[in-house]
Amino acid sequence: MNVVDRFLQYVKFDTQSDDTTNLTPSTPGQIVFAQHLEKELTKMGLTDISLDDNGYLMATLPGNADCNDIPTVGFIAHLDTSPDMSGRHVSPRIVEKYSGGDITLNAEKGIILSPSEFPELENYKGQDLIVTDGNTLLGADDKAGIAEIITAVDYLQKHPEIKHGDIRIAFNPDEEIGQGAHKFDVKRFNADWAYTMDGGEIGELEFENFNAAVAKITVNGRNVHPGYAKHKMINSMRIANQIIIMLPRWETPEHTEGYEGFYHLTSIEGSVEKTVLTYIIRDHDRSRFESRKKELEHLTRKINKEFPGVAEIEIKDQYYNMREKIEPVMHIIDIAEEAMRRADVTPKVVPIRGGTDGAQLSFKGLPCPNIFAGGLNFHGRYEFVPIPSMEKAVMTIVEIARLVAER
């Protein structure tokens, strides 16, 4: 079975995660998918296969090289798809030799994948693309990564002339809700380092990500009949609005790129009596990240000075920039770059404007940069993946395995 066949099979599993269940995995479909993969890995003859109650699936492709001191390298991808859009009844379609211009995803609903809105499409003229039917996401994030890892392992099994050390693979739940690494047993995985196959377009190699926190500001008001409210009513929504407009207007996701951080208001729940603002705070630079948290605390104190005791703030760190954990072992980046070049891929080292399981794993003692899986426009109906990008990802994994043994 090739990488495309595997991918088309895997996207049929409904594995959306759900951050409201407080379970691991957060949805039963992830365990169903993991059990399917467990059977596939068993049939392939891998060893040390384990699937725990939390949905973490691990396995080993034993090394075939003569040398015993080759490092053990791991490859990781996540089972779940984003809660942002339905992943149920995914109906993928292959657009052969894309000729440019619009791709009709759903004629009945008038859903068009157009380079006028997604100009990156033009980079893939002449290639076969896998697209959605416009009703669901595709699931390349990260079922492309899973298909690529398993196909690469299959390729190594069929080509024993390629010498490699032990290869560990793992598929985990709930990455999309930020919990994928929480119960990942790094000791049991037992790799010297790993790569998540969870990046975007071909060539991407990432070892920097945002420092991240979530802030919840609660404003408590006082409701009084509006006809008799003078000097009595405290409208929590109006006070919350003051906090919103005091933050820098241009430091938001829609105005930033590259290494620029932001404050992102993700939800407002309010009434006169009580309003809750939820922000996520992001910055690649640790000192600026800390400054952003302090700024929200400062604004809360400022509001409380004008309206004594109405506001309270709670800030929780979510994850940190893995760069500080990768820099001491930069040879693992060098290996990934050289592997891409051997696979005829031009490496593109870029910062992640988000998080990744690899960041949390790096801080748990498993250095874990991120490599492209090939998909674009994740988390929505316009998601697509070029087939050659998936094939190149497979060969990148193969070349990493070869290089680790050579070095």
Chain segment 213-268, per-residue pLDDT in tens: 999 999 999 999 999 999 999 999 999 999 999 999 999 999 999 999 999 999 99
Which pLDDT score, from 0 to 100, does residue 66 have? Answer: 85
pLDDT of 178 strictly over 90? no
pLDDT band at 65 (very low <50, low <70, confident <90, very high): confident
Alpha-carbon distance of 198 to 204, in angstroms, equals: 10
Which tokens belong to 327? Answer: 């820099």
pLDDT band at 273 (very low <50, low <70, confident <90, very high): very high
Alpha-carbon distance of 41 to 325, in angstroms, equals: 31
Where in 188-261 does DSSP place strands (E)?
193-199, 204-206, 211-220
Nearest to 92, CA basis, from 381, 373, 377: 381
- Encode 295-331: b = buried (16+ Cβ within 10 Å), e = exposed: bbeebbeebbeebeebbebebeebbbbbbebbeeeee
Domains for the chain: give ranges and CATH numbers. 3-208+322-406 (3.40.630.10), 211-319 (3.30.70.360)
The runs of H, that is alpha helices, within 190-314 are 236-246, 286-306
What's the average model confidence in pLDDT over 145-165? 98
pLDDT band at 122 (very low <50, low <70, confident <90, very high): very high
Contacts of 321 (CB under 8 A, 6+ apart): 208, 209, 210, 211, 284, 286, 359
- Please state the pTM of the whole predicted model: 0.89
User: Which single residue is written with the structure tokens 């190594």?
Assistant: 156
Which pLDDT score, from 0 to 100, does residue 72 have? Answer: 97
How long, in residues, is the chain? 407
pLDDT of 174 strictly over 90? yes
For residue 146, count other CB atoms closer than 10 A to its CB: 26
Contacts of 181 (CB under 8 A, 6+ apart): 172, 175, 357, 359, 360, 361, 364
What is the per-residue pLDDT across 313-370, written as a single tens digit (0 to 9) for each? 999 998 899 999 999 999 999 999 999 999 999 999 999 988 889 999 999 999 999 9
Cα angle 160, 165, 170 (rounded to 5 degrees) comes to 100
What is the per-residue pLDDT across 70-113, written as a single tens digit (0 to 9) for each? 999 999 999 999 999 999 999 999 999 999 999 999 999 999 99
Alpha-carbon distance of 39 to 32, in angstroms, equals: 11
Tell me the average pLDDT of the chain: 96
Which pLDDT score, from 0 to 100, does residue 275 have? Answer: 98
What is the per-residue pLDDT across 289-321, written as a single tens digit (0 to 9) for each? 999 999 999 999 999 999 999 999 999 998 899
- Rounded percentage of the chain residues whose pLDDT exceeds 90: 96
Which pLDDT score, from 0 to 100, does residue 128 have? Answer: 98
The residues carrying an active-site annotation are 80, 175
Alpha-carbon distance of 186 to 293, in angstroms, equals: 30
pLDDT band at 68 (very low <50, low <70, confident <90, very high): confident
Beta carbons of 83 and 190 less than 8 angstroms apart: no
pLDDT of 49 strictly over 90? yes
